Structure formats: C-alpha cells, structure tokens
Amino acid sequence: MKKLLAVVLALVMVLSFAACGDKPSAGSNGATLKVGLICLHDENSTYDKNFIDAFKAACEAAGLVEGESYFIKTNTPEGAECKEAALDLVDQGCTVVFADSFGHEPYMIEAAKECPDVQFCHATGTKAHTENLANYHNAFASIYEGRYLAGVAAGLKLNEMIENGDITEETAKIGYIGAFPYAEVKSGYTAFFLGARSACPSATMEVTFTNQWYDETLEKESAQKLVADKCVLISQHADSYGAPTACEDAKIPNVSYNGSTEAQCPETFIVSSKINWEPYFELCIKAAKEGKEIPTDYVGTVDTESVLLTELGAKAPAKGTADKLAEVKAGLSDGSIKVFDTNNFTVTRFDDTYNQYKKDAIKVDENGKVLEYLADVDDAGDYVGETNVIVDGVFVESGSDMRSAPYFDLDIDGITIAK
C-alpha cells in the first residue's frame, strides 16, 4: 500500500506541474510574429540545408530571432510526427508554419484543418488547389529551368571532352541518379537532358533510381555503377553528398543540385542548380505581418530569383560556359526558349518501363512529337490524367493556374532507365 501511496503522490506532483505550466498567449494580435519550419532531415542533407539557410536568412531579414520568434524542427518523419511538430509550433505561438518535404503534406493538411487561424505552407505539395482550405498553401519553383541551364553546362563539357578526344560523339553518355521515378524527378532530369542535348546533340542519358531521398551509400554506389556503365558525366537528384564524392573519386565531371559541392569536389564540380526558397519565405512572412493572403499555389521562377545557378566550378567547366549560360538564361527569361517545347523531344516507347499506362492519355504524331497529353494535375490518387497540358506546342510544366508542383512524367526518347 505504501508503494501505491507513493505512486498517487507522484501523479499528484505530475498534475500540479501541469497546472503551473504557462499558457501561450492567445492569438498574435500585437505580439511579434512567430514562424516555424519543419524539415525532413537536418543540415547534413543538401535538400534540407537549402531550406534551413533560406529560412534563417528570410527570418533574420525580417528581424526574427531563432528560438524566440522563429523555430526549426529537424528530422521530422513524413508521418504523424509531422502533424505533432506542426501543432507544437502552433503551441509555441507560430502563425505561419512551413514544411519542406513532399510526404509531410497529408499531415500539414490535418494540422491546417485543426488550426484555421494559422497559415500552413507546404513546399513541393500537390493538394492545395483541390483541398479548399483557406489556410493551406503549396509552393514550388520552375526548377526545370535551372536544370535546363545546368544541362547546357553539361552539354558544353561533353563537347569539350569530344574535342579533346577523351570521348567520341557516340559515347557522350550522361548518368543520372534520381530518388524516385515520379514527376518531380522526371521533370528535373528531362529538363537537364534537354539542356545538355541543346548544346551537344549526340548526348544520351541513363537514369537510375535509389528509391530513397537520402542514402549516402546507395547514391555513391549508384554513381559508381553508372561510371562502370560508361557514363562520362554524372548528375543527380538525391540529397546526400554520395554521388558528387563518388564522381570526385572517379574523376568524372559532376553537375550537382541544391548547392555548390565545389568544396567537396574541387576537381569535378561543374555547376549546381538550386531552388532559392528565400523569396517565398519573405513573401509569406510579409503577408502574415500585413494580414494579406498567401497564394494557394506559388511558383518561383528565374525572374523571381527562386531558381538559381551556383557559381561555376573553378576547374571542371568547359571554356565559355558562363557566357553561354547567360545567353540561355536571357532566352528563358524573355520566353524565346521554352524548355518543354514539343519540337525538342519525342515520345515513342510505351511498355512496362517507359510511359507505362500513358498510351491512352497521350496523342503523338508519326514521329513521336506530342500533340496532346492529359496529365494528372488534380492528383486525386486515381493516376488518371484529366488536364491537357500541351498548350501552343509546349508542355506547360507547372503554373499558378494549374498547380505549383511538377507533373511532367513522360519518358522521352534518348533517356534510358537502368534496370
């Protein structure tokens, strides 16, 4: 019985603790703005680091202080923990909560339903335009333009290698490590390939998937396997330093993503494209301060500086790369270059690996030029396309009138997928 008494006393103690915990001030009227960011991993992931750096910069520019008026939750899995993290940030007094990973979306929506007074902004998500929640928003950037530019730099490098006699036109094969075979990744590598082929017409590409967003060993091994498959230049869309460091070891030029890997790979780093999230964070913080609405679907572009190229590497890039990139960038900016112009690619393969289940959604002419394509823009989970996205001969990759996240998921000719 004594033990029982002790337990009861302990419980009383616990509950009295609870009673004296201070309550958060209700609402944010007059109080300083507080914002929070939920990250899938931490700074060791290039993807999350890109968000964290931009978030810190935007918050500090707005006069917010870490731990007081802005908070970052790292290593938050894509599960119920995300909702818990979001609600915890609301408890902390945050009125704008961001999350950085695709799989966070359903839990951000759950949190948004529970807290209608708080704005929930989710990067890379697809559901804001169909969910009809006033306080839930998606954002992305036309990163395919950045990938296209990075691809041009890769193409120029291939040309240089051909001129030097290191490779021939026929062996100008690029390797690409993608995380998952879905639209965000496909759109990225297709744009990269189109950029490379615009500079080096004989280029081909082999893609391999890791089915992980962050797996350093696997990404490294995938890069080594591509090198063994005679790929002479490698790029990746996965979040660790695995692929770039494997390239450095093998002395294979590398086009990176999410940020410069010049420090890790001084011999082989060409250039990296990245999404700059700072303009979006600034826009949301400003909107929250002024009580304005945050757009349901935000697409940053080259012009908003949401899509950036890092500085070129010191050693690896081909001569004249900087000038050519400036020229192509101007073309993207004024609209004279469209990345997904249907004159620039063909689609002819329809089987279990290439364009599976897409035969009924697409219309192509006898050469494989795409005339019409119904894409699954509403992402209702049915995988059935409902929106024709070929407008004036161009695949409209994303847009605030469609949705911010990519839906380009065709397998174009010239790109092979490794088994």
The contact set with other proteins (CB under 8 A) reads 3-4, 7, 10-11, 14, 17-18, 21-24, 42, 66-67, 71-80, 84, 87-88, 91-92, 101-103, 105-107, 109-110, 180, 182-184, 211, 381
> By the 8 A CB rule, do 262 and 46 touch?
no
Q: How far is the CB of 411 from other proteins (least distance, A)?
A: 16
Q: How far is the CB of 66 from other proteins (least distance, A)?
A: 5
Closer by beta carbon to other proteins, 23 or else 419: 23
d(CA 322, CA 331) in angstroms, rounded, equals: 14
Closer by beta carbon to other proteins, 18 or else 391: 18
d(CA 214, CA 223) in angstroms, rounded, equals: 14
Closer by beta carbon to other proteins, 69 or else 119: 69
Closer by beta carbon to other proteins, 42 or else 249: 42
The first and second tokens of residue 186, run together, are: 């496909």
Q: How far is the CB of 371 from other proteins (least distance, A)?
A: 26
What strands lie across the sheet with 254-257, from one edge to the other?
307-309, 269-275, 254-257, 233-237, 173-178, 204-209, 415-417
Q: How far is the CB of 409 from other proteins (least distance, A)?
A: 10
> By the 8 A CB rule, do 35 and 59 touch?
yes
Closer by beta carbon to other proteins, 117 or else 366: 117
> By the 8 A CB rule, do 243 and 213 touch?
no
Closer by beta carbon to other proteins, 182 or else 350: 182
**φ, ψ of residue 187 in degrees (nearest 5):** -60, -40
d(CA 45, CA 36) in angstroms, rounded, equals: 19
What type of residue is 128? A
> By the 8 A CB rule, do 149 and 332 touch?
yes
d(CA 51, CA 73) in angstroms, rounded, equals: 12
Residue 208: which H helix or E strand, with range?
Answer: strand 204-209
Residue 176: which H helix or E strand, with range?
Answer: strand 173-178
Alpha-helical (H) ranges within 213-363 are 216-228, 242-250, 278-290, 321-334
Closer by beta carbon to other proteins, 58 or else 364: 58
Residue 36: which H helix or E strand, with range?
Answer: strand 35-38
Q: How far is the CB of 241 from other proteins (least distance, A)?
A: 18
Closer by beta carbon to other proteins, 213 or else 345: 213
Q: How far is the CB of 399 from other proteins (least distance, A)?
A: 19
Q: How far is the CB of 143 from other proteins (least distance, A)?
A: 16
Q: How far is the CB of 21 from other proteins (least distance, A)?
A: 4
Q: How far is the CB of 416 from other proteins (least distance, A)?
A: 22
Close Cβ partners of 121 (under 8 Å, ≥ 6 residues apart): 96, 97, 98, 99, 137, 138, 139, 280, 284, 294
Closer by beta carbon to other proteins, 87 or else 418: 87
